Homo-oligomer: A and B are copies of this chain.
Amino acid sequence: MTSAAPPSRAHRPVEGRPGCSIEQALQLVGDRWSMLILRDTFRGLRRFDQIRRDLGIPKAVLSERLRKLVDAGILERRRYQEHPPRDEYRLTRMGRELSPILVALMHWGDRWLQESGPPTVLVHEPCGTDVHLGFHCATCGVDFGPLEIASRPGPGALR
Given known A11-B125, A16-B43, A31-B32, contact A149–B120 (CB-CB < 8 A): no
B22, B36, B116, B137: the one within 8 Å of A105 (CB)? B22
Which residue of B has the minimal Cβ distance to A129?
A: B139
In the complex, which residues of chain B have a beta carbon less than 8 angstroms from the beta carbon of A150?
A: 122-123, 125
| Residues of A near any B CB (own CB < 8 A) | 1-6, 9, 11-17, 19-26, 28, 30-32, 35-36, 39-40, 42-46, 54, 73, 94, 96-127, 129, 131-140, 143-158
How many copies of this chain sit in the oligomeric assembly? 2
| B149-A123 in contact (CB<8A) | yes
B3, B12, B94, B100: the one within 8 Å of A104 (CB)? B100
Q: Which 4 A-B pairs have the closest CB atoms?
A: A21-B109, A4-B44, A117-B155, A25-B109
